[in-house]
């Protein structure tokens, strides 16, 4: 149980276009979803936290108008990278938590999405 999927697993796009990444909890209801970004050989950096039905909370330095997050249902959150530029190329990974699993170790990660902006 507690499986989180991401789609697509990798995407290549042209500079200036927008890219949407989906994060789904397959067998549980995710009250909270997190979006992380990882540059090569660096740590996972939290970008934003989203709770179902409310606006996402962005970390300092993350542009909310560039990285649009929607958590419309208890099983789906989307991250849209708007007007993507080459510096947005990175590995984006989501995770999900549920009220049914309140412990701090109960955060389940998706497999990640590799974004390359040409």
Residues that bind another protein (CB under 8 A): 4, 6, 9, 34, 36, 41-46, 93, 95, 104-112
Kindly state the smallest distance separating residue 118's Cβ from another protein, in Å: 22
Strand order in the sheet with 4-7: 4-7, 19-25, 76-81, 67-73
Indicate the helix (H) or strand (E) that contains 6: strand 4-7
Looking up tokens 């170790």 gives 105
* Rounded least distance, CB 96 to another protein, Å: 10
C-beta of 59 vs 85, nearer to another protein? 59
């Amino acid at each position: 149980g507690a499986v989180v999927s991401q789609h697509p697993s990798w995407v290549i796009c042209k500079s200036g276009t927008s890219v949407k990444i989906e994060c789904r909890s397959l067998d549980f209801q995710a009250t909270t979803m997190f979006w992380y970004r990882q540059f090569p050989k660096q740590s996972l950096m939290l970008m934003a936290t989203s709770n179902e039905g409310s606006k996402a909370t962005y970390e300092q330095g993350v542009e909310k108008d560039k990285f649009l997050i929607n958590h419309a249902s208890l099983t789906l959150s989307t991250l849209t990278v708007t007007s993507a530029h080459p510096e947005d190329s990175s590995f984006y990974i989501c995770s999900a938590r549920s009220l049914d699993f309140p412990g701090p170790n109960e955060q389940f990660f998706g497999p990640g999405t590799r974004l390359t902006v040409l």
